[in-house]
Structure 1
């Protein structure tokens, strides 16, 4: 599988990790091939190794300004954090026990910054429990700029055993004024143990630790061009210390285990570059700030809705944290990844978290936290790399304009035409857009307010005439976006409460509106709510008996959900009405018309009654006549009773069943087996990334781009091709796997996907 236009990557995720500098890698290799001795050995080979180790230690002390105190090499920052916390808490426990002997009753606490890396509070909780200290663990609030609340510290520190703060935040680059903090902390409690996480500070801010009262400071090598697995921790001369690794007595008995000499050799090169700036690959602060400004200006120029989540006046120049209104963090990450720009959403250690606890703590709006993108680089960044990054950002934005996701001064001549059904989502909520390219007409079903700007942009860019904006029912879990769009695009249209146009047509006692050559038919289907209706998109039909053959999509709201039926325990609900509505829907659309629901809780995209009947006995027995209305009401109430275990903070619109359709495991190709299949078998490769991603990067073998937002439309078009061999591919393999599962569930028995996606095949 060949990339059509391979690009070298622009790596802008340095706060997660960095590549090893060639000079550092060479030093590590030399230590493995030449200076490979054990530093504890007394022969010449061992003595040379020991000299390298001690030289590295001395350079570390110079870099962090620690002419007093100890520097102990560790496996990384997490071990350094454990070392600091255990050392402090073991000593603190002695104080607690002494207080108990003297009948002193005190309520103790452990303090940490609310924006601290999760390794800190989790370690505090762990060792607080293990050591039986049972102190109250308190987060120090921060203001909107990310600065720690000094009054809180002043109030809480007198009874605190330990305080943990951060020199530079890993998500936002916000730095704390350590001198001011020290004054507040020591004025409140001169005996409190103070740890400062300095991982992101190394090489970005000047440190002079021996001139402070900081007791512990962990560092990590892989954040600054050294290999993973090497770090160190600074311990103030007077600070207590407890060894957490006992054994052969290495590191002067402070940390046992054979020393990581290759790691030390590599990080020593980094230290030498920091100490000898004239012969260094590292840029100075002024240059780095210039790089940041260039990136900021580029983002502002191509994304007018960009918002930066931190103030540049109190953050290091190597970190940018921003959000683009109307786009999720995943969408921007996927977009940049297609342009071979590597960024992250917040902390790489919590990449599966959907929002940033750091930005939440700073009090930023929820959408900024959920849409946050972190762009970070190291001091070895070059002007050429920044220039290329800016070009890629511009090309990524241009791809969005081609896909009608943003407008570019009205220049929309080269847009990709939209024809057919599009599924847009916010969380589990679905909005459906149908466009007829020939007539330039469109309708929107269940518009979400979060998608208002995107829908508005789509309509403008595609120059579509909006015929209707309709909700399938009154939603309990979210507001409709219908009013905003109707005021702008249909200011004079008269509708009912859900947006159904009063100026509609009628045929066979059914109301409908025309969209191009299609009919959108309104069918009252109460049950989930009293006002629930289903909207059927059909070709013109003779009578009701003819609808099934002409129907392409059924927008049934929450009446039929993937894996369940809509709940019927709202005040306006009626299980009796739902029983009748289900039978009516079945009589009109049959078993295989695609149903487009208002919610998709399991990423299944669409369904039909045949698939749902296989896994939902309540629906199956209702439609085949084995269940009467009384039996339905009883079983439906039992199904709805499971909702109490699923609600949480979200109002669930249907109780999900555990039953899944039985089917074969999805066939997974790797790079080699797919190349063989493409050359020797009748296999069709489908790239399911969004059009803007596909435009930026795709393979020469891809015969078609079917984005996930158009997957339901594709499934409908291929109803007669269910035995064809399809192989789906995306960036990482996650989206292609989910899409393949959805297609297989609906009868596509030869669908497969590329495991690991483009990430593992390039």
Structure 2
């Protein structure tokens, strides 16, 4: 497609916009580090000439650090990085605080250790660690922030008089929000002149002016790799006369303040960074230029993604950080999109990449969707105008990829290149929406529509110019409000329907001497099967080929949408007011008589990332289900077992309502993993399946892949190949994480020759 050709012409290198996580090493700094390893390799503690040369480099670097920090008084100690600096500060302060308490015979439980609610997790975790280890037992208390991320000064004023230590940060690593240190100092010192105060300055270096000697900040840790120095070198400022306890004891290096042979190559590198910060003709851009870069990126993002919301205010944040969310898209989806466009960004903090929400944005009181969908774009002061322009160009290409994949609607998208055909699974957390379309007739049915997906579903319908036959819920949902009414209104679906969306005008068929209603979608039937139990109104929807005389439903059904009756590894809960374990028992037996052992079951919830299941797979691991189907368990025995299974699901206020007890053990299976060399050797014998979504695939098409099967289409792909499970398929994605999960799901359903590429395209 044209977007691919355009992108390839511009794909010369990656655009790295994740500098708050780490930065590339400045070439001059790398050269200096290499030179130190080759020529100034002496031990600074040695008294011979080689050692003296090394010591001179170290002291030059220390002097420049003091100039950069405005630290004419006080100490600068070199560390391995910010985390060590944080430990050093907190340990030093708390050892002194403990002595104070003992001298005054006071109880630490009456005191606070205060930290900003948006502080890097290294700070509160370190406070808790040393508080417990030193036996102080003070209350570790978060200082609230407002919607702009600014600390609550009234809270500080009212708690500081009983605080042993206060920890704040100069610049937030997720949002770039900076604190007014002068105002903060006034608030703290008026309330408690003697409290120990640490300011995390990791993200401040090179982005805001610092004059630490003119403040009463006791400790300020820094990290080199956040500003173009290598990892493993950092430093901490300690105010003159501030208490100090060595975090690392040993040979007495750093004048006895921090033992361990000094990292001379790291110091040589950060020495170059200090030079750049002190020079007038530096390679670092001015504040005005950085503000211009941010404005250019922000305008491009807004043009590319009109639904964008910035999660911070530009007037109180450094210009090198943009934190935003795009309504309708998760942070994972946007991360994958940007990565496919060869733009490196992150979802919130890189130090908590497995967390789905941002505690920083939660603390600021932002809506949950913004916290869950947050993307952080950050750059360093050495970025160039050319890189900014190329980043903007690629952001626009990424937006076009969404348009061509019918995820964003504009006039060009109405001529979508690939018509939607078959089953699509859309997810929000553990909840699923299912969409089945026929490309020939442009008809579509939507099952269990989630409110978070309403806009995306509407976009898909309009972009593909589909005719909606029905929008149906499999039951009344307890954990969310269905988007069916909203979609029905937006899409102008006018046919009469019941409370779940089942059309009033239907046809009937006889199956096992019982009449069932069905509707037609192109050349398929969608049969409604009442399956009460999870709720009284629960139904299952069976998508099948039209039944002819002597046909069995089991042999003709493609998909069974069973709502929350059968879930992966468990059964839907039956302890709602409208539930009945007795009815579920009958419904399970009914479904087992209608479905083939390997008919794919598509539930409303997938808490284990398994996509779909079938009765054969479930009976192998779910003894309760197996015993119901085989008749080994009576109705009364099932009631007792089901009550026990659901006993821990009694809802607590503020918690997610789970619709079924999740399995207690991991369902992940060991699948064969290939590395890049194994893949190359096996290419002639395998089929490589690229499971990235269409917008990713469009931006980074691989000629090696036999087929693109997005995860949203994986269940459809499995159904098409139920009779072809011996083919050697290798799944591949960007990082290897999605391909592993998909391979495990397929293997569990009998695809025994499945494997995946470890590390994905990232390691090829």
TM-score of the alignment, normalized to the shorter chain, above 0.5: yes
Assess, with a 3 A threshold, how the Cα gap between structure 1 residues 339 and 458 changes in structure 2: closer, same or farther.
same
Name the counterpart of 2:352.
350
Name the counterpart of 2:712.
709
Distance across 2 between alignment mates of 1:657 and 1:389: 44
Distance across 2 between alignment mates of 1:491 and 1:148: 50
Does 1:151 find its partner at 2:178? no
Task: Give CA deviations for 1:514-542 in whole Å, capped at 9, x if unaligned.
Answer: 11111111111111111010101111103
Among 36, 39, 55, the alignment partner of 1:34 is 39
Assess, with a 3 A threshold, how the Cα gap between structure 1 residues 658 and 249 changes in structure 2: closer, same or farther.
closer
Give the secondary structure class of the aligned counterpart of 1:423. Answer: strand
Distance across 1 between alignment mates of 2:12 and 2:473: 44
Name the counterpart of 2:364.
362
Q: How does 1:167-206 map to 2 (within 5 A)?
A: 167-206=170-209
Q: How does 1:606-755 map to 2 (within 5 A)?
A: 606-643=612-649, 649-658=655-664, 665-679=670-684, 681=685, 683-755=686-758
The CA deviation at 1:322 is 0.2
Distance across 2 between alignment mates of 1:512 and 1:270: 71
Distance across 2 between alignment mates of 1:243 and 1:716: 63
Assess, with a 3 A threshold, how the Cα gap between structure 1 residues 711 and 86 changes in structure 2: closer, same or farther.
same
The CA deviation at 1:152 is 1.0
Distance across 1 between alignment mates of 2:107 and 2:222: 37
Q: Is the 8 A contact 1:729 1:736 kept in 2?
A: yes
The CA deviation at 1:698 is 2.9
Distance across 2 between alignment mates of 1:86 and 1:146: 27
The CA deviation at 1:409 is 4.0
Distance across 2 between alignment mates of 1:94 and 1:662: 51
Task: Give CA deviations for 1:649-698 in whole Å, capped at 9, x if unaligned.
Answer: 222212233467897x311110001000004x2x1000001011111113
Name the counterpart of 2:337.
335
Name the counterpart of 1:421.
423
Distance across 1 between alignment mates of 2:155 and 2:407: 45
Structure 1: any 5+ residue segments left out of the alignment?
Answer: none
Name the counterpart of 1:219.
222
Instruction: Work out the number of aligned pairs and report it.
Output: 753
Q: How does 1:338-417 map to 2 (within 5 A)?
A: 338-409=340-411, 411-417=413-419
Name the counterpart of 2:284.
282
Among 55, 75, 92, the alignment partner of 1:50 is 55
CA-atom RMSD in angstroms? 1.8
Distance across 2 between alignment mates of 1:467 and 1:490: 11
Structure 2: any 5+ residue segments left out of the alignment?
Answer: none
Name the counterpart of 1:553.
559
Assess, with a 3 A threshold, how the Cα gap between structure 1 residues 661 and 147 changes in structure 2: closer, same or farther.
closer
Give the secondary structure class of the aligned counterpart of 1:513. Answer: strand
The CA deviation at 1:702 is 0.6
Q: How does 1:59-138 map to 2 (within 5 A)?
A: 59-100=64-105, 107-138=110-141
Distance across 1 between alignment mates of 2:368 and 2:259: 46
Name the counterpart of 1:601.
607
Name the counterpart of 1:314.
316
Q: Is the 8 A contact 1:615 1:659 kept in 2?
A: no
Q: Is the 8 A contact 1:591 1:610 kept in 2?
A: yes
Task: Give CA deviations for 1:152-171 in whole Å, capped at 9, x if unaligned.
Answer: 11111111111111111000
The CA deviation at 1:94 is 1.7
Q: Is the 8 A contact 1:404 1:415 kept in 2?
A: no
Name the counterpart of 1:257.
260
The CA deviation at 1:503 is 1.5
Q: Is the 8 A contact 2:101 2:108 kept in 1?
A: no
Task: Give CA deviations for 1:467-507 in whole Å, capped at 9, x if unaligned.
Answer: 11110011111111111101112442211111101122222
The CA deviation at 1:411 is 3.8
Farther-moved stretch of structure 1 (579-588 vs 554-563) = 579-588
Give the secondary structure class of the aligned counterpart of 2:297. Answer: helix
Give the secondary structure class of the aligned counterpart of 2:354. Answer: coil
Among 461, 485, 488, the alignment partner of 2:487 is 485
The CA deviation at 1:642 is 4.7
Distance across 2 between alignment mates of 1:543 and 1:327: 47
Task: Give CA deviations for 1:694-728 in whole Å, capped at 9, x if unaligned.
Answer: 11113211110000000000001111211111000
Q: How does 1:530-549 map to 2 (within 5 A)?
A: 530-542=536-548, 546-549=552-555
The CA deviation at 1:408 is 2.4
Give the secondary structure class of the aligned counterpart of 2:415. Answer: coil
Distance across 1 between alignment mates of 2:554 and 2:174: 53
Distance across 1 between alignment mates of 2:49 and 2:366: 59
Give the secondary structure class of the aligned counterpart of 1:184. Answer: helix
Task: Give CA deviations for 1:300-355 in whole Å, capped at 9, x if unaligned.
Answer: 00100000000111100000000000000000001111111111111111111110
Task: Give CA deviations for 1:345-397 in whole Å, capped at 9, x if unaligned.
Answer: 11111111110111111111111011000000000101111111111111111
Farther-moved stretch of structure 1 (485-494 vs 368-377) = 485-494
